[in-house]
Amino acid sequence: MGEHRFKVLWDREAENLLRRRGNYTLEKIHEEFDRDPTKEAMTVDPNSNLFVTPVANRRYSVVWRMLPDQQVARVSAVVPTRFVQEEVGTLKERVQSIVLLETCGRVTLTP
Amino acid sequence: MAGNSVHILFVHGVGQHSPLSSLLRAYQSLRSDLRSPEAPIVWEDPIPDWRLADFDDLGPPPFLKLVPRYPGKQLGPDNVYLYEANYSALAGVIRANQPLDITRLFVGFDLAVNVARERLRKEIRKEKRAAAELSKHAEIGMHVQKLADVLVAATVPILGIPSLIFRNYTSSWVAIFTRFFEDIATFAMDKNGEQLISQHVDRTVRNIVDSNRFLRAKPEDPGDTFVIAAHSLGTIVTHNFLLRHWSSGGPVVPRKLLTYGSPIGLVCWVWRFLDFPRLKFNAAADQATGDEYFCWTPEPAPKAPLAPIEWINVINHLDPIASAFPIQDISLAMPAGEIQRSLLNKTLTHHYIKTGIAFSLGSAHTNYFDDRQGFVDILGRLAGLVPDAPPRPASREPSVHWQQMRSDLLLMRWVLWACGLVAIGVYFGWLSSLYGAPVPWLLVGLYVWPPATIAVLAFFQKLIFGGPTKRTRPKTLKQLRWADWWAFPYRLRQIATVGNSESSVAARRANAIAKLSGLFLAFVPTIIAMALPVLWWRFVRRQGAGLGWFVMDHPGKAFVLAGAFMVYTMAFAGSEFARHWRNLLCVLTAERKGDGGQANPGS
């Protein structure tokens, strides 16, 4: 993939989650994700264009939403866990609950 | 998403290991890069989805408990427990109560190899059929003999008078060297040591599986997973444990086994070579020769089918201990086919890694955790901390591994030879300048060839210390041939009858006077070698100061010269070790060329 035609926007909460793990981690994950958000991305919820992309050798997962009208990938959260491709409903439930836990309920992932 | 718990027990290798050291080293390596000189940061953590939930540093055994960051919502087991079996203090006490003389240990081993070679030679002559296979073993035996010779010679500079002179600088290194071989002897030659360590490991495992943390298998539940990760001598201890418990089954038998830096291949071959006629393993009690070198009792083949185990053996580049042992070595009493059926996927997986450069010989045996992408990842997968999704980390190509080993050993041989030449050059150069004459240089030719230096040192060590032992009786020693160079000093020593009888072997006691006089005697050949240029100079000039004058008047310079000579002998010993090790690898890798170069050193 490499080149993509959309902008990547990081929500403040996603930035804060990463910064808690240090600016070194923040920069590395930013760099990797911004280069290609769709690399090995999994669809969490096709209706709301919700995806997760594994980064940092699959140690972290970036949860993001595609806003096709604006050509923007909006990052909602980064969580230190790995997901596997499974039934979409189960994956969505898992992603949502983990993001809720990690952000202490501040990010809900509802469209 | 989650399953039951995984319990992983770390069994350390030779040397001193303070309590918790194996446990914490494994844990720290799983979470950070220990090679970094800086304190770790979160980014390095390969398992950020696991958190440390408990640390019981008392035990027994002490353990760390890791739990998923998001319980019930992420991949992997419910809990991962890390334990350690630490028999280091126990082994230290055993040896403190009965210290072993390392020089005699090496000479005794060299003598035992001589006896085994002679026995094999007679067997080959007796039987024309099957002689090809035995001849191959005889060839390997010859290389092992030469390696033993180097060890015998190396004790002069490492344990002898030079080391006493430089003890302020070498004591910790000598302690490591001594402890290394003491631990091996404790488990392989001392029945008390073997039983105490075995019981310690048995108890540690029982404490794990009997604890309320461990969920045993039930008809409807496979129960918790028990894993053992063993290093170096720990793999021999674990192998021993496995053979004693495998057939009885139950939770004590690990489902997964990770061995790294394992000498199983080397030890199994040496055991068969020294203790079994024609190298045919035989567990029948009436087949014992009575002259066994090892203290181990051969275990008969189990009758019940064995629970399958996943066994991964990791071999680091230039690790002199690690062997890619054949399946047969897993149980010498069982047919290879049956052993295969007892392994998951019918395979013993050898995984080759490379953590260092061409001169990493000294660290290759202990640097497994440095391979973060390979070894640490495999460990994480076996522990359930990392999803074990294919593909697993790729192993280096075995043929490339052994080829590079051979070329690096060749390089090491030449470099160490060069280092020895520089050291002896310094010795001669300075001596000449002190005397104001280049005459000593005329003798330098005697000192430049490592095989000659090592042969002379080993010869005198054997001559001085090579009497009969508890394992090699005078009668057995007499069977050695005069014409065999490696056996010659033992036969020569027998001419002097003192200390050669059965009763004198039994009566031999280690006391300080005997030890000191032994050290002094062993150093006499080295003193002669060091003094030869001085004596030669006096002989040519027929005047001038002698050795006594030199040492008394210039103690500082004599100290530095002794240091240069010590470096010289050690470098030459290293060069010879690399040469014989390489030659041994050449024999072992040549025998399986048709097998894609997947040689089995130690097989």
Q: Quick one: pLDDT at residue B593?
A: 44
Instruction: Say if CB B279 and CB B137 are below 8 A apart.
Output: yes
Task: Tell me whether residues A59 and B42 touch, CB distance under 8 A.
Answer: no
Residue B238 inside a domain? The answer is yes
- Which positions ≥6 away from B85 have C-beta within 8 Å? B9, B10, B11, B12, B61, B200, B201, B204, B205, B234, B237
Q: Could you give the angle at the alpha carbon of B601 between the alpha carbons of B596 and B603, nearest 5°?
A: 100
CA distance B361 to chain A (A): 31
Task: Tell me whether residues B70 and A97 touch, CB distance under 8 A.
Answer: yes
Q: Where in B376-438 does DSSP place strands (E)? A: none
CB pairs under 8 A between A and B: 46
CA distance B385 to chain A (A): 11
Question: What domains appear along chain A, each with residue ranges and CATH number?
Answer: 7-102 (3.30.2310.20)
Q: Quick one: pLDDT at residue B476?
A: 87
Three-state DSSP state, A52: strand
Q: Which residues of B touch A25 (CB under 8 A)?
A: 41-43
Exposed / middle / buried, residue B265 (Cβ in 10 Å: 0-12, 13-18, 19+): buried
Task: Tell me whether residues B387 and A82 touch, CB distance under 8 A.
Answer: yes
Domain count, chain B: 1
CA distance B34 to B196: 33
Instruction: Name the residue among B41, B46, B69 with its Cβ closest to that of A24.
Output: B41
Instruction: Name the residue among A25, A84, A101 with its Cβ closest to that of B42.
Output: A25
| The token pair that represents B335 in the structure block | 């047919």
| The token pair that represents B70 in the structure block | 């998001």
Residue B250 inside a domain? The answer is yes
One-letter-per-residue 3-state SS of B489-517: HHHHHHHCCCCCCHHHHHHCCCCHHHHHH
Instruction: Say if CB B315 and CB B324 are below 8 A apart.
Output: yes
CA distance B240 to B242: 5
Instruction: Name the residue among A22, A28, A82 with its Cβ closest to that of B49.
Output: A82
Instruction: Say if CB B245 and CB B216 are below 8 A apart.
Output: no
Q: Quick one: pLDDT at residue B590?
A: 73
CA distance B79 to chain A (A): 16
ipTM of the complex: 0.87
Q: Which residues of B touch A97 (CB under 8 A)?
A: 70, 73
Task: Tell me whether residues A24 and B45 touch, CB distance under 8 A.
Answer: no
Residue in B with minimal Cα distance to A23: B43
Residue B257 inside a domain? The answer is yes
Q: Provide residues of A within 8 Å CB-CB of chain B.
A: 21-22, 24-25, 28, 56-57, 59-60, 80-82, 84, 94, 97-98, 101-102
Over the stretch B520-539, which tens digit does the pLDDT of each residue have?
Answer: 777 778 878 888 877 777 77
What is the torsional sign of CA B92, B96, B97, B103? positive
Residue B497 inside a domain? The answer is no
CA distance B132 to B62: 51
Instruction: Say if CB B602 and CB B265 are below 8 A apart.
Output: yes
* Structure-derived torsion over alpha carbons of residues B468, B472, B474, B476, reported in degrees to the nearest 10: -140
CA distance B264 to B339: 15
| Domain carrying residue B208 | 2-94+190-397
Instruction: Say if CB B71 and CB B77 are below 8 A apart.
Output: no
Q: Could you give the angle at the alpha carbon of B318 between the alpha carbons of B116 and B272, nearest 5°?
A: 20
Residue in A with minimal Cα distance to B31: A59
Instruction: Say if CB B443 and CB B533 are below 8 A apart.
Output: yes
Q: Which residues of A touch B45 (CB under 8 A)?
A: 59
CATH of the domain at B372: 3.40.50.1820
Instruction: Say if CB B156 and CB B125 are below 8 A apart.
Output: no
Residue in A with minimal Cα distance to B48: A80
Closest C-alpha among B361, B471, B460 to residue B411: B361
* DSSP-derived pairing of the beta strands B2-3 and A72-79: unpaired
Closest C-alpha among B162, B173, B165 to residue B529: B162
The strand pairing partners of B348, in sequence order, are: B311
CB neighbour burial string for B548-581, b if at least 16 within 10 angstroms, e if fewer: eebeeeeeeebeebbbbbbbbbbbbbbbbbbbbb
CA distance A34 to chain B (A): 18
- Tokens 């392994």 -> residue: B343
Residue B279 inside a domain? The answer is yes
- Which positions ≥6 away from B214 have C-beta within 8 Å? B5, B7, B208, B223, B224, B226, B251
Ranges in chain B, pLDDT < 50? 1-2, 592-603
Strand order across the beta sheet in which A50-55 lies? A7-10, A72-79, A60-67, A50-55, A42-45
Residue B385 inside a domain? The answer is yes
CA distance A98 to chain B (A): 7
Exposed / middle / buried, residue B82 (Cβ in 10 Å: 0-12, 13-18, 19+): buried
Closest C-alpha among B418, B9, B488, B471 to residue B202: B9
Task: Tell me whether residues B70 and A21 touch, CB distance under 8 A.
Answer: no
* DSSP-derived pairing of the beta strands A72-79 and A7-10: parallel
CA distance B67 to chain A (A): 13
Tell which wins on pLDDT, B150 or A2: B150
Task: Tell me whether residues A84 and B74 touch, CB distance under 8 A.
Answer: no
Q: Which residues of A touch B387 (CB under 8 A)?
A: 82, 84
Residue B142 inside a domain? The answer is no
CA distance B355 to chain A (A): 20
Task: Tell me whether residues B74 and A98 touch, CB distance under 8 A.
Answer: yes
Task: Tell me whether residues B46 and A57 touch, CB distance under 8 A.
Answer: yes
CA distance A52 to A76: 10
Over the stretch A37-82, which tens digit does the pLDDT of each residue have?
Answer: 888 888 888 888 888 999 998 899 999 998 877 788 899 899 988 8
* DSSP-derived pairing of the beta strands B80-85 and B63-68: antiparallel
Q: Is the peptide bond before B335 cis (omega within 30 degrees of 0)?
A: no
Residue B521 inside a domain? The answer is no
CA distance A62 to A53: 5
